[in-house]
Structure 1
Amino acid sequence: MTDESLIRTALDEWSEAFCTKNIDRMMALYSSNAVIYDAIPPFSSGVEALRTKVVDCFQYFPDGFAVEKHDLTVSIGSDMASAHFIWRFTGVPAGHPAGRHWLRSSVVWQRQTDGRWLITHDHCSAPFDPYTDKVVFNPDSSASASEASGACGERNPVGWFEIYVQDMERAKAFYRAVFGYAFTRLESPIELWAFPIQHSGGGASGALAKIDGCGPSGNNVIIYFSCEDCAVEADKAAAAGGKIHKRRFSIGSYGYIALVTDTEGNMIGLHSLK
């Protein structure tokens, strides 16, 4: 088998190991002093940090999925080799975060004294648009435009929400106790206290609002808040004066949710991946 064939086979081995969640099989492809530039922080790490990070990620993937690679180029030297390509996960449920974008990888291999090739540098990333701070998810710009037109561009369709309250101080105390949020008073003719806003992000934010004639909505519209463990936040909600409507339950590969009622009578959702 030629050196190029060995490298290509090892790349397939990496994909199969990741997709079968076999961390030992995957890490056997790396040298002990390999430097990792991963798409997930930190900017730079070693093999033990990579092992821990990948094991932590496995729980969020379904039991069956695959890796699709395009534009693979392999270059071979006397004792160093490189490979670069773009790739994505396939076979994940529709809407799963891991299936929404392509990544680019550059991998450097070094020949060992016993003749094996091991990874000494692994770089995985996605480009970004410096004018918008948005990650570019698709290498085909025309495809991106087509997808954007059917999915509200690169941002979620909800741009703003308001939760109507009867007692603003009581409501702020509730959300502060459950999530640790700091609120900002907005300049407005009505009393609005905004949740934290990430101006470069693509999601939604909103505010607690006190408006004459607008009372709590009950369970007419449910807003879901992201959290680390929705079971923990549900207990915090109860301790802060709210009520648990539905305790943590699975929604399959999309994680878990719980439903609680705040101190004002609004039902809100809690979502976590564990």
Structure 2
Amino acid sequence: MASNEAQIEAVMEERAAAMAARDIERLMAVYTTDVVYFDLVPPLSYSGAASLRARFLDWFGRWESPIGQRVDRLQIISGVDVATAFMLIEARGTLKGGRDVKYWVRTTNGLRRMAGTWRIAHEHVSLPVDMATRSAVMDLAPGCEQSIIPERMPGDGSFKT
């Protein structure tokens, strides 16, 4: 039997492959039915498989091409029946309307082993934010570990570097 880490890595690979294929059944199979998902876009969270399914279907509909999903810097911490995986994921492809995009997100997954199979019970996707402009920073990539530190926080004159 494969180690917990190998099994969880396989879940992450399956997630990326299902996302690329825009295969909703295959994608939902890696999540628990009571999944809680924190996405880049509102609302603050999606709770339950039905809510997440609707979110993914909406997202799939925004792409003209397959959705490229490359996992980088995957790290896994596992126990007997719970685990955490965190990684960087590159999303790339062509949106409807013809615009090519490529950006990296930070992703953290909480997983549970259920009936011997690892499933994602919680996923949190985020982008760094330039605090001076309050805008997402979408042009970073692994290896360009730059820091954007404002001299002060917007609306607050007390933050200094």
Would you call these one fold, judging by a TM-score over 0.5? yes
Q: Distance in 2 between matches of 1:89 and 1:29?
A: 19
Where is the strand percentage greater, Structure 1 or Structure 2? 2
Where 2:103 maps in the other structure, the secondary structure is coil
Q: Distance in 2 between matches of 1:125 and 1:11?
A: 17
1:50 to 47, 52, 76: 52
Give the letter for the 1:19 counterpart. A
Task: Give the number of aligned pairs.
Answer: 140
Residue correspondence of structure 1 range 247-266 to structure 2 within 5 A = none
Per the alignment, residue 102 of structure 1 pairs with 104
Per the alignment, residue 94 of structure 2 pairs with 92
Displaced runs of 4 or more, over 6 A: none
Residue correspondence of structure 1 range 1-274 to structure 2 within 5 A = 1-46=2-47, 47-92=49-94, 95-96=99-100, 99-112=101-114, 114-137=115-138, 138-139=140-141, 140=144
Where is the helix percentage greater, Structure 1 or Structure 2? 1
- Structure 1 residue 64, shift from structure 2 partner: 3.1
Give the letter for the 2:135 counterpart. K
Give the letter for the 1:104 counterpart. R
Change (3 A) 1:63 1:136: closer
- Structure 1 residue 23, shift from structure 2 partner: 0.5
Change (3 A) 1:54 1:65: closer
Preserved contact between residue 20 and residue 63 of structure 1 (Cα < 8 Å) = no
Give the letter for the 1:50 counterpart. L
Q: Distance in 1 between matches of 2:74 and 2:93?
A: 21
Q: Distance in 1 between matches of 2:132 and 2:73?
A: 27
Where 1:18 maps in the other structure, the secondary structure is helix
Where 1:74 maps in the other structure, the secondary structure is strand
**Greater RCO (Cα-Cα under 8 Å, separation 6 or more):** 2
Say what the alpha-carbon RMSD is for the aligned residues: 2.0
- Structure 1 residue 9, shift from structure 2 partner: 0.6
Preserved contact between residue 108 and residue 119 of structure 1 (Cα < 8 Å) = yes
Give the greater-gyration-radius structure (CA): 1
Q: Which runs of 5+ in 2 are unaligned?
A: 149-161
Where 1:57 maps in the other structure, the secondary structure is helix
Q: Distance in 1 between matches of 2:20 and 2:44?
A: 24
Give the letter for the 2:113 counterpart. R
- Structure 1 residue 82, shift from structure 2 partner: 0.8
Change (3 A) 1:45 1:95: same
Preserved contact between residue 105 and residue 125 of structure 2 (Cα < 8 Å) = yes
Where 1:102 maps in the other structure, the secondary structure is strand
- Structure 1 residue 136, shift from structure 2 partner: 1.4
Give the letter for the 2:29 counterpart. A
Change (3 A) 1:25 1:129: same
Give the letter for the 1:136 counterpart. V
Q: Distance in 2 between matches of 1:27 and 1:82?
A: 19
- Structure 1 residue 91, shift from structure 2 partner: 4.3
